[in-house]
Structure 1
Amino acid sequence: MSERLQPGDTAPAFTLPDADGNDVSLADHKGRKVIVYFYPSALTPGCTKQACDFTDNLAVLATAGYDVIGVSPDKPEKLAKFREKEDLKVTLVSDPEKETLTAYGAYGEKKLYGKTVTGVIRSTVVVDEAGKIEHAFYNVKATGHVAKIIKDLGI
């Protein structure tokens, strides 16, 4: 079971390929706040709803100084299909080895339909301009989560 991050912790560094195979690093966003959200699988109903919510609110978040990066274990090719099919504007990155998911506490045991399974724990971490954890939300719901983040961040 991976450790959950707490406010004040240093955000684990990562460099992962995006939907086009280009490397995206947390370090690329130094000086800006970053919302890093972790989701189980592209092209599934809950993950689609969540990605569309982030896309729909991207301008509001960007104006408030936040970049958004979605992380899943999907391969870049699947992320590209997801982006095209749903017209997504958020940056989606691939973590098939689940190293970043684990480092952020977003991979491990969870309950799914009453059973304990190992998988991606739907989570969102807000990283400040200096690379420190500002907020860490675990076991979030796909629907309504973006609105809750906007409210919690006072945007």
Structure 2
Amino acid sequence: MKNLITTLLVCVSFSINAQVADSPQNISPLLIGEKIPNTTLVDLEGKALETDKLFSKKSIIVVYRGGWCPYCNAQLADMQGIEKEIIDLGYQIIAVSPDAPEFLKETEEKGKLSYKLVSDSEGKFSQAVGIAFSAPEKYGKMLGKFSDGKNTNWLPVPTVYVINDKNEIEFLYINPDYSKRLKGELLLSVLKSL
């Protein structure tokens, strides 16, 4: 009976997070101490990746809106600038966006990024971690184009998760104002203190 109740609580908890909020202010993100659930993302070659395997070591997960977003591109460049220090501290960087693989390749080339970019065009990951929200209607066509038609109505709130090798969240930065991003210097200070 106890196992059944635990299973029901886990299912209810997951279903609460697995949704698209009506605004960035009303999201329900996973928090410090919670685990990143296993979902599927897609790499630059279109291969499906299970997040349990992808995040099997300490990771910095940067969730961004897309390669079309100047704030996102500035953040990705900032992460590239500190990548060596992040690796030296034992972490990998993985950037996740709704962009389809072909557009991830463009972002990677344009930004000269050497860390891993993965696609969440269907929103499985963003919904599972509770950071997806309904995008303003004006974004519909653009989102459809960049997601290869898989997404026309949602965006993730830009988020940085620091997770350990058990997929547990040790730190997160999230702000409903997409122009406010975690600076690389501050992230390095956090990593050194963990």
Task: Tell me the TM-score range normalised by the shorter chain.
Answer: 0.7 to 0.9
Gaps of 5+ in 1: 112-116
How far, CA to CA, are the matches of 1:42 and 1:54 in structure 2?
14
Would the aligned equivalents of 1:110 and 1:121 in 2 still touch at CA under 8 Å?
Answer: no
Alignment-derived partner of residue 95 in structure 1:
120
How far, CA to CA, are the matches of 1:30 and 1:90 in structure 2?
13
Larger helix percent: 2
Which stretch shifts more, 75-84 or 96-105?
A: 96-105
Map 1:10-49 onto structure 2 (within 5 A): 10-29=35-54, 32-49=57-74
Runs of 4+ residues over 3 Å off in structure 1: 22-25
Does residue 154 of structure 1 match 2:188?
A: no
Task: Calculate the TM-score normalised by the size of structure 2.
Answer: 0.68
Does residue 65 of structure 1 match 2:103?
A: no
How far, CA to CA, are the matches of 1:106 and 1:145 in structure 2?
20
Does residue 122 of structure 1 match 2:158?
A: yes
Q: Deviations over 1:5-54 (max 9, x none)?
A: 11111111233112232333332355521111111111431111111111
Would the aligned equivalents of 2:60 and 2:93 in 1 still touch at CA under 8 Å?
Answer: yes
Does residue 136 of structure 1 match 2:172?
A: yes
With over 3 angstroms needed to count, the CA separation of the structure-2 counterparts of 1:59 and 1:22, relative to structure 1, is farther
Alignment-derived partner of residue 114 in structure 1:
none
Task: Calculate the TM-score normalised by the size of structure 1.
Answer: 0.84
Q: How many residues align?
A: 149
How far, CA to CA, are the matches of 1:17 and 1:110 in structure 2?
22
Q: Structure 2 counterpart of 1:58, which letter?
A: E
How far, CA to CA, are the matches of 1:77 and 1:147 in structure 2?
30
Alignment-derived partner of residue 55 in structure 1:
80
Gaps of 5+ in 2: 1-20, 22-26, 137-152
Higher relative contact order (CA 8 A, sep 6+): 1
Q: Deviations over 1:108-134 (max 9, x none)?
A: 2699xxxxx963201111111122111
With over 3 angstroms needed to count, the CA separation of the structure-2 counterparts of 1:47 and 1:153, relative to structure 1, is same
